[in-house]
Structure 1
Amino acid sequence: SKLFKPKDLTEDLMEKWLVTFENWEICDSFSMGVFAKSALPIPKIIEWSTRSREFEKRASFATIAAYCMADKKADNAVFEQFFPLIHQAANDDRIYVKKAVNWALRSIGKRNIDLNKRAIEEAHKIEALDYKSAKWIARDALRELQKEVINILDYPRAIYRP
């Protein structure tokens, strides 16, 4: 971020900013430009995923989506730990939450071929849930993750492009 260096971020500052988010644009700007690029996103992703306020919860999943690109060397296990959070939030029918949950699932699935397979498996599990939002999240993710031509990023490159 040009306005704030992610390395200077603290958990207190994350919380102070988070509670001020009133729309998706501000939420996503902070999630992508600051939170995902900091050293602090994983505990906050987990914590925020169960928040009740719409844009606080959205921040969890927008940060997951951005973190898929921000940490190019992270192991698959880092991202696999987010599948239960995605599954749990799939019943939230608020538009800005369900879109971020879907975005997180698709972003994990585009990180590399192994995570693509896992994201597709998770999408099928989500599709089986008895919630309209879950079915939308799953079907939209499957439509993108199962395309014949999909832009897989191959992160971490040391493993996927040796």
Structure 2
Amino acid sequence: MIGPSSDAAGLIAHLETLRSEENVAAMARFGIVTGRALGISNPDIRAVARLAKKDHVRAMQLWRSDIREARLLALYTAEPKRLTMEEARNWANDFDSWEIVDCAADLFVEARLDDLVRDFADDEREFVRRTAFAMISGAAVHRKKEPDAAILAWLPLIEVHSGDPRNFVRKAVNWALRSIGKRNLACHAPALALATTLAESSDKTARWIGKDAVRELAGEKLLARLK
């Protein structure tokens, strides 16, 4: 029986019973790294996390297993208030999948490890850089009470890295820009202005990021919602 007293080994053994080779094949088609995957859906992993409850030390042990599902379970059951910068950096060294990155970014935002954003953006590794912009997007969406100035302060970072053509970076940069623009009216105008500038860039990647963001941020439905 899974519960708060379950240890890492017990949780991994339980995950093994949920293995689905069919799902592993399907995940690969979505660009999910499946070398150490059991093929368990995210909702099912979250269900296990709800039963297991938060346990920071156990989360660290789960991460070290190198199993996709155990690592996601680690991210879902880590304690944000106990997560340190060093622990987050160590995890980032293992990032090799957009899925893991995006889940980790949510945790890092909840843990308020904002100093990592600039450091991760400056990191040349594709998935570490993606983490920075996934964090920006998450903060823009979830931190309702955060001063808008703190969110807008990340726009220059978006501009600086708008020329990175790597798929998982450019999509995250675009995602961050759109998330800021959709936050509220105060954030919309500066984000749309940057998107418009990028849309006219001579750089192919920056131009794509800008045009795609303009398409959404200038949409009538969004403008009506923000007003």
TM-score, scaled relative to structure 2: 0.64
How far is the alpha carbon of 1:128 from its aligned partner? Answer: 2.8
RMSD: 1.8
Distance in 1 (CA, whole Å) between partners of 2:198 and 2:118 is: 19
How far is the alpha carbon of 1:8 from its aligned partner? Answer: 1.2
Quickly say closer, same or farther: Cα 1:152–1:26, change in 2 above 3 A: farther
What secondary structure is seen at the aligned counterpart in 2 of 1:36? helix
- Stretch of structure 1 that moved more, 91-100 or 3-12: 3-12
Aligned 1:104-119 pairs, distance under 5 A: 104-119=176-191
Partner residue of 1:136 out of 208, 215, 223: 208
Q: Which residue identity is paired with 2:147?
A: D
Unaligned residue ranges in structure 2 (runs of 5+):
1-74
8 Å contact 1:91–1:134 — kept in the other structure?
yes
Partner residue of 2:119 out of 47, 62, 74: 47
8 Å contact 1:62–1:100 — kept in the other structure?
yes
* Higher-RCO chain (CA-CA 8 Å, sequence separation at least 6): 1
How far is the alpha carbon of 1:54 from its aligned partner? Answer: 0.0
1:41-81 CA-to-partner distances (Å, cap 9, x unmatched) read: x2111111111000000000001001112321111110111
Distance in 1 (CA, whole Å) between partners of 2:224 and 2:173 is: 19
8 Å contact 2:198–2:211 — kept in the other structure?
no
2:83 is the alignment partner of 1:9: yes
8 Å contact 2:198–2:207 — kept in the other structure?
yes
Aligned 1:51-66 pairs, distance under 5 A: 51-66=123-138
Distance in 2 (CA, whole Å) between partners of 1:107 and 1:95 is: 18
Aligned length: 153
Quickly say closer, same or farther: Cα 1:54–1:88, change in 2 above 3 A: same
Counterpart of 1:78 in structure 2 is 150
Distance in 1 (CA, whole Å) between partners of 2:225 and 2:126 is: 30
Q: Which residue identity is paired with 2:216?
A: E
Counterpart of 1:35 in structure 2 is 108
Distance in 1 (CA, whole Å) between partners of 2:124 and 2:200 is: 24
What secondary structure is seen at the aligned counterpart in 1 of 2:122? coil
8 Å contact 1:126–1:134 — kept in the other structure?
yes
Distance in 2 (CA, whole Å) between partners of 1:111 and 1:153 is: 10
Distance in 1 (CA, whole Å) between partners of 2:154 and 2:224 is: 19
Distance in 1 (CA, whole Å) between partners of 2:163 and 2:81 is: 34
Name which one, 1 or 2, has greater alpha-carbon Rg.
2
Which structure 1 residue ranges, 4+ long, deviate > 6 Å from structure 2?
A: 151-154
Distance in 2 (CA, whole Å) between partners of 1:123 and 1:137 is: 7
Partner residue of 1:20 out of 75, 80, 94: 94
8 Å contact 1:44–1:60 — kept in the other structure?
yes
